[in-house]
Amino acid sequence: MPYLFTSESVSEGHPDKIADQISDSLLDHFLAQDPNSKVACETLVTTGLTVLSGEVKSSAYVDVQKVARDVIRKIGYTKSEYQFEAESCGVISAIHEQSPDINQGVDRGTYEEQGAGDQGMMFGYATKETENYMPLALDLSHKILIELASLRRENKEIAYLRPDAKSQVTIEYSDDNVPQRIDAIVVSTQHDDFIKPASDSAEDRKKADDEMLAKIKNDIIDILIPRIKEQLKPEIQALFNDQITYHINPTGKFVIGGPHGDTGLTGRKIIVDTYGGKGAHGGGAFSGKDPSKVDRSAAYATRHIAKNMVAAGVADEILVQVSYAIGVAKPMGIFVDTFGTSHVDLNNGEIAKKIGEIFDMRPQAIEQRLKLREPIYSDTAAYGHMGRRPEIKKISLQSNGEMITREVETFTWEKLDYVDRIKESFKEYL
């Protein structure tokens, strides 16, 4: 029997994502000066206030207030009517040095001995249903908000948009797990109060609000959605039809938003950051954490494994789990689920064993393989850490009064650089 599956995304102006972006920008500034920095930064944003906290061990000096304000400005909170604005909001720092009790288990004398920064389990997932090996519902949810942000910055076709927004896509699947059609799309976007009532009466206020909401709904359906479809392959475009149920700002007008409407915290959008509810999540957040924290680095490593395994033809869908004990370099174990889509004459346990032979999953090895000691994290903090396009780019960060410019490789865990090695390893079983 066909079934429905839903994923959501949130924009860069969502309060929790503002917090994630500030935390990751702080991390980048520390790593740009001192690649061995140990960082675990948390951010809280609310009406007129940003609070920075966490633990740092680094030789770098970072003007944390300036970093926070630069991020807020870049996102688009630049008007006083938002009640949260880059120049005027308060910024309080309560960042302190990392606990020596934690550090002693991570900093060891040799490459082999560097321990995991915490215990826990991490998951990576990949599926053949999209070009970037991501679940389709989440991929579309991200695309909707990326394009909505482009429309906001262009300020031409839709001139009333504000930074805060959410999206959600529901897809109908067949019994054999193939997408059949898009069933529903939800978009909630913050906006200016751009239609004023003729009077202060309840009737006139309702009439103005209804006109505003009708305009927003028409613009989302007639302007935003066609721009999304243009980016998609024909088989994905075919999933759009006249029967889609649209819920556009379903609660009514959405003028009050951002941190003034809802407090934001680092690490509250972990499903948006990963696979939209497909596969699994170990529970640890990513943003603000340096790569010694396996919550982050091992989640990237397992995504790298899963994507390369699917691309190599081992399975059409795969979930990879790895687990660690704090201070211990070698993983507790590797688990694999191919959901019955395996193309090799091996069971899941045997596949997991071969993964352990191909990929060194010690924390230091992951850091080196994926080049995780570079200031590459600001780009990850909105629109998902997975499914993004790897690229070599120049970044410029101002730290300690100087502009640091360097070339970095972003989203290395999305590279298909182990496909040939995997094919060679599994060739007698394919």
**Is 269 annotated as belonging to a binding site?**
yes
**Is 30 annotated as belonging to a binding site?**
no
Record: fold of 15-106: GMP Synthetase; Chain A, domain 3 (3.30.300)
**Is 325 annotated as belonging to a binding site?**
no
Q: What is the per-residue pLDDT across 180-214, written as a single tens digit (0 to 9) for each?
A: 999 999 999 999 999 999 999 999 999 999 999 99
**Is 262 annotated as belonging to a binding site?**
yes
pTM (two decimals): 0.95
**Is 427 annotated as belonging to a binding site?**
no
Task: Write down the pLDDT at residue 113.
Answer: 73
Dihedral sign from CA coordinates of 144, 146, 150, 153: positive
**Is 107 annotated as belonging to a binding site?**
no
pLDDT at 150 over 80: yes
**Is 165 annotated as belonging to a binding site?**
yes
| Dihedral-angle region of residue 216 (phi above 0 means left; psi in -120 to 50 means alpha; beta otherwise) | alpha
Could you tell me the pLDDT band of residue 117, with boundaries at 50, 70 and 90? Answer: confident
Q: Taking a C-beta distance cutoff of 8 angstroms, is the pair 364, 108 a contact?
A: no
**Is 162 annotated as belonging to a binding site?**
no
Mean pLDDT of 110-120: 77
**Is 166 annotated as belonging to a binding site?**
yes
Mean pLDDT of 97-121: 68
Instruction: For residues 133 and 336, give the distance between their C-alpha atoms in angstroms, rounded to a whole number.
Output: 17
Task: Write down the pLDDT at residue 98.
Answer: 67
**Is 374 annotated as belonging to a binding site?**
no
pLDDT at 109 over 60: no
**Is 55 annotated as belonging to a binding site?**
yes
Task: Write down the pLDDT at residue 163.
Answer: 98
Pick 288 or 402 by higher pLDDT.
Answer: 288
**Is 273 annotated as belonging to a binding site?**
no
Record: fold of 120-127+269-426: GMP Synthetase; Chain A, domain 3 (3.30.300)
Q: What are 189's strand-pairing partners? A: 165
Record: fold of 3-8+135-257: GMP Synthetase; Chain A, domain 3 (3.30.300)
Cα-flanking dihedrals φ and ψ of residue 31, to 5°?
-65, -30
Return the domain boundaries, the chain: 3-8+135-257, 15-106, 120-127+269-426
pLDDT at 62 over 80: yes
Q: What is the per-residue pLDDT across 214-249, written as a single tens digit (0 to 9) for each?
A: 999 999 999 999 999 999 999 999 999 999 999 999
Q: Which residues of 127-152 are buried (b: 16+ CB within 10 A; e: fewer)?
A: bebbeebbbbbbbbbbbbbbbbbebb
pLDDT at 100 over 60: no
**Is 343 annotated as belonging to a binding site?**
no
The dihedral over CA atoms of 300, 303, 305, 308, expressed in degrees to the nearest 10, equals: -120
**Is 206 annotated as belonging to a binding site?**
no
Instruction: For residues 52 and 45, give the distance between their C-alpha atoms in angstroms, rounded to a whole number.
Output: 9
Could you tell me the pLDDT band of residue 396, with boundaries at 50, 70 and 90? Answer: confident
High-pLDDT (> 70) share of the chain, %: 96
Q: What is the per-residue pLDDT across 361-390, written as a single tens digit (0 to 9) for each?
A: 999 999 999 999 999 999 999 999 999 999
Q: Taking a C-beta distance cutoff of 8 angstroms, is the pair 329, 364 a contact?
A: yes
Instruction: For residues 223 and 232, give the distance between their C-alpha atoms in angstroms, rounded to a whole number.
Output: 16
Task: Write down the pLDDT at residue 228.
Answer: 97
Could you tell me the pLDDT band of residue 406, with boundaries at 50, 70 and 90? Answer: confident
Burial of 88 (0-12, 13-18, 19+ CB in 10 A): exposed
